[in-house]
């Protein structure tokens, strides 16, 4: 254990130095596999030097962030980075840090990157909760009356599985209030309070009653904000400016009482009468549009799902998958099922494992073959696709084609058989296939088969296409990575 800790510390210190030290870091967080830096000067890190650090798989610049791909041990390396640089964990961005820095010109591209960055920062921390909640919903579906019928719907165990699973989605506004506050640099507790207001039982009773209601004389749209995403994120964003305004003009002696009170006083009508309805409209529009596209049937819908399967890992590398993940979260939270994006994403995840298998069978070099087998286990069991993606697909190039073929074939089968995902399982291993539990037995069977098709097609295609004899320079780090990840 001490040797592993020493390795994490060495990796964390090396990464911290490579990005310009603590002085160049505005904030740093991490997702399941990547360190995500917001840097004052993004030109400081040398990508090739960062890739050469022991324990680093690769580097990506996306969503306004400098991302260092670590893998399953990212949390340990993240702790090491924070300790080495005396950085706060999940610290919000301090606007004062950039006072003397040149402001980036606002363009459509930079605005899009900023939006993705904020969405990623708000939603990524929710993944562990979503995994747990989704697993409980899966337990209810598998062991309940809809499938194995081992427990009845009236049993205490079934009820526990149900309300624990539902809680993870129902209370989205409160939990998102916390994560969004970290992104917008505002009070976490007040943000959570605002989220709680939006799903207060008395407010929901008012909405359910369907009678006209006003907030301080302003007509309120009758909207149930439980399980919603965009309304609270928009509200916390605006709240960050409102709170900042009051902090600026209210003396410190009175700020403890007046700032939170006046902030909520302003935000209640703004959220319930303006931002909430607008955000709910946007969310419903996106969700209904995606679901409708998935229900269209016919060749266009089937091909679209197959294309998502083929291109998903490219979206992951560029960070553009965050927009689709956000959409998936909204659809599952509001509709309880999804039949478009998930199908291609699951197929793509299984195709990475298939590509690793095809590469392992084709490689002649013993060390590289051992690494490929390790990447297969990391992907299929551990749910971490980056080792295979960067250690094989990007490194050798040809397997990338095999991976895309597998994702396309798996997505094509999913589209042809019109399967639906009933549980959001935000992991990339074989458990992702449990997302198809909750409907008919045929739906489950075809869902599993879509993953099998993606896996086998990717393995066969990769094996037949072959592997380049000379890998690109990005692979020089994979041997070191084996010590940490395998």
Q: What CATH number is given to the structural domain containing 71? A: 3.30.1360.60
**Does 302 lie in the same domain as 273?**
no
First vs last C-alpha separation in the chain: 15
Q: pTM of the prediction?
A: 0.58
Bridge partner list, 29: 36
Residues catalogued as catalytic:
31
**Does 303 lie in the same domain as 248?**
no
Question: In the β-sheet with 58-62, what is the strand arrangement from edge to edge?
Answer: 25-30, 34-39, 65-69, 58-62
* CA dist 393 → 360, 462, 472 (Å): 12, 10, 10
Name the residue with higher pLDDT: 66 or 316: 66
162 within domain boundaries: no
Bridge partner list, 66: 37, 61
Q: What is the pLDDT of residue 78?
A: 92
Residue 302 has pLDDT above 70, yes or no: yes
Name the residue with higher pLDDT: 196 or 280: 196
> 102-111, 192-201, 249-258: lowest mean pLDDT where?
102-111
Q: Mean per-residue pLDDT for 97-121?
A: 57
Measured CA to CA, the distance from residue 238 to residue 272 in angstroms comes to: 13
Q: Mean per-residue pLDDT for 358-365?
A: 91
Span 157-180, pLDDT tens digits: 999 998 998 888 788 899 989 989
Sign of the CA dihedral running 165, 170, 174, 175: positive
**Does 313 lie in the same domain as 263?**
no
**Does 349 lie in the same domain as 270?**
no
> 100-109, 342-351, 419-428, 444-453: lowest mean pLDDT where?
100-109
Measured CA to CA, the distance from residue 124 to residue 392 in angstroms comes to: 26
142 within domain boundaries: no
Give every CB contact of residue 456 below 8 A, 6+ residues apart in sequence.
354, 406
266 within domain boundaries: yes
Are 375 and 479 contacting, i.e. CB atoms less than 8 angstroms apart? no
254 within domain boundaries: yes
pLDDT band at 297; cut points 50, 70, 90: low
**Does 88 lie in the same domain as 60?**
yes
Q: Mean per-residue pLDDT for 253-262?
A: 93
Q: What is the pLDDT of residue 264?
A: 96
**Does 368 lie in the same domain as 263?**
no
pLDDT band at 484; cut points 50, 70, 90: very low
* Domain final position from 59, 80, 99: 99
Among 140-144, 198-202, 274-278, top mean pLDDT goes to 198-202
Q: What is the pLDDT of residue 289?
A: 63
Mode of pairing for the β-strands spanning 34-39 and 65-69:
antiparallel
339 within domain boundaries: yes
Residue 307: Cβ within 10 Å count: 17
Residue 430 has pLDDT above 60, yes or no: yes
Q: Mean per-residue pLDDT for 288-305?
A: 71
Measured CA to CA, the distance from residue 309 to residue 278 in angstroms comes to: 32
Residue 21 has pLDDT above 70, yes or no: yes
**Does 284 lie in the same domain as 330?**
no
Residue 110: Cβ within 10 Å count: 12
**Does 405 lie in the same domain as 257?**
no
Name the residue with higher pLDDT: 283 or 95: 283
**Does 339 lie in the same domain as 473?**
yes
Name the residue with higher pLDDT: 297 or 440: 440
| DSSP codes joined into one string, 114-142 | HHHHHHHHHHGGGHHHHHHHHHHHHHHHH
122 within domain boundaries: no
Are 233 and 179 contacting, i.e. CB atoms less than 8 angstroms apart? no
Residue 287 has pLDDT above 90, yes or no: no
Residue 475 has pLDDT above 70, yes or no: no
Q: What is the pLDDT of residue 372?
A: 87
**Does 345 lie in the same domain as 204?**
no
Q: Mean per-residue pLDDT for 455-462?
A: 96
* Domain final position from 53, 77, 99: 99
For the chain, give the percent of residues with pLDDT over 70. 80
> 102-111, 187-196, 393-402: lowest mean pLDDT where?
102-111
* Domain final position from 291, 306, 335: 291
The number of distinct structural domains making up the chain is 3
Write out the two tokens for 311.
């291109």
Bridge partner list, 219: 214
pLDDT band at 91; cut points 50, 70, 90: very low
% helix, strand, coil for the chain, step of 5: 70, 5, 25
- For 153, the 3-state DSSP assignment is coil
**Does 434 lie in the same domain as 306?**
yes
Q: Which of 102, 92, 90, 88 is nearest to 40 (CA)?
A: 102
Measured CA to CA, the distance from residue 232 to residue 256 in angstroms comes to: 23
Query: ∠ CA(396), CA(399), CA(402), 5° rounding?
Result: 165
> 265-274, 311-320, 397-406, 460-469: lowest mean pLDDT where?
311-320
Measured CA to CA, the distance from residue 141 to residue 447 in angstroms comes to: 15
Sign of the CA dihedral running 398, 400, 404, 407: positive
Residue 373 has pLDDT above 80, yes or no: yes
Give every CB contact of residue 253 below 8 A, 6+ residues apart in sequence.
none
**Does 270 lie in the same domain as 304?**
no
Residue 293 has pLDDT above 50, yes or no: yes
The pLDDT mean for the chain works out to 81
Q: Quote the domain boundaries for residue 199.
A: 171-291
166 within domain boundaries: no
93 within domain boundaries: yes
């Amino acid at each position: 254990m001490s040797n592993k800790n020493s390795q994490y510390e060495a990796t964390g210190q090396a990464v911290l130095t490579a990005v310009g030290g603590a002085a160049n870091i505005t904030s740093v967080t991490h997702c399941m596999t990547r360190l995500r830096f917001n840097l004052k000067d993004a030109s400081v890190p040398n990508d090739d030097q960062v890739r050469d650090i022991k324990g680093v798989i690769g580097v990506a610049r996306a969503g306004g962030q400098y991302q260092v791909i670590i893998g399953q041990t990212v949390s340990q390396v993240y702790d090491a980075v924070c300790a080495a640089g005396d950085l706060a964990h999940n610290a919000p961005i301090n606007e004062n840090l950039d006072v003397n820095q040149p402001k980036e010109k606002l363009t459509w591209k930079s605005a899009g990157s900023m939006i993705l960055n904020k969405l990623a920062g708000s939603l990524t921390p929710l993944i562990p909760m979503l995994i747990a909640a989704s697993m409980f919903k899966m337990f209810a579906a598998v062991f309940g009356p809809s499938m194995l019928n081992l427990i009845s719907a009236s049993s205490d165990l079934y009820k526990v599985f149900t309300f624990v699973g539902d809680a993870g989605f129902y209370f989205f506004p409160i939990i998102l209030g916390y994560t969004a506050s970290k992104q917008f640099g505002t009070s976490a507790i007040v943000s959570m309070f605002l989220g709680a207001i939006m799903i207060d039982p008395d407010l929901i009773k008012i909405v359910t009653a369907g009678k006209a209601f006003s907030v301080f004389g302003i007509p309120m749209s009758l909207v149930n904000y439980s399980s919603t995403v965009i309304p609270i994120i928009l509200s916390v964003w605006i709240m960050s400016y409102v709170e900042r305004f009051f902090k600026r003009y209210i003396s410190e002696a009175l700020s403890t009482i007046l700032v939170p009170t006046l902030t909520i006083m302003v935000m209640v009508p703004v959220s319930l009468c303006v931002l909430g309805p607008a955000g709910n409209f946007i969310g419903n529009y996106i969700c209904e549009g995606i679901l409708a596209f998935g229900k269209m049937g016919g060749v266009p819908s089937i091909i679209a799902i197959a294309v998502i399967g083929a291109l998903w890992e490219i979206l992951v590398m560029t960070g553009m998958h965050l927009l689709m993940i956000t959409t998936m979260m909204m659809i599952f939270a509001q509709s309880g099922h999804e039949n478009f994006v998930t199908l291609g994403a699951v197929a793509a995840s299984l195709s990475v494992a298939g590509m690793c298998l095809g590469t392992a069978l084709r490689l002649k070099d013993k060390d590289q073959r051992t690494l490929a087998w390790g990447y297969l286990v990391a992907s299929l069991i551990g749910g971490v696709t980056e080792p295979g993606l960067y250690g094989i697909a990007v490194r050798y190039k040809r397997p990338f084609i095999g991976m895309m073929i597998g994702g396309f074939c798996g997505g094509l089968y999913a589209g042809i058989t019109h399967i639906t995902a009933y549980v959001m399982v935000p992991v990339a291993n074989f458990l992702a296939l449990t997302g198809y539990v909750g409907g008919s037995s045929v739906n489950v069977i075809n869902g599993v088969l879509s993953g099998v098709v993606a896996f086998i097609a990717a393995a066969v295609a990769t094996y037949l296409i072959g592997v380049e004899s000379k890998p690109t320079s990005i692979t020089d780090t994979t041997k070191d990575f084996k010590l940490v990840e395998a």
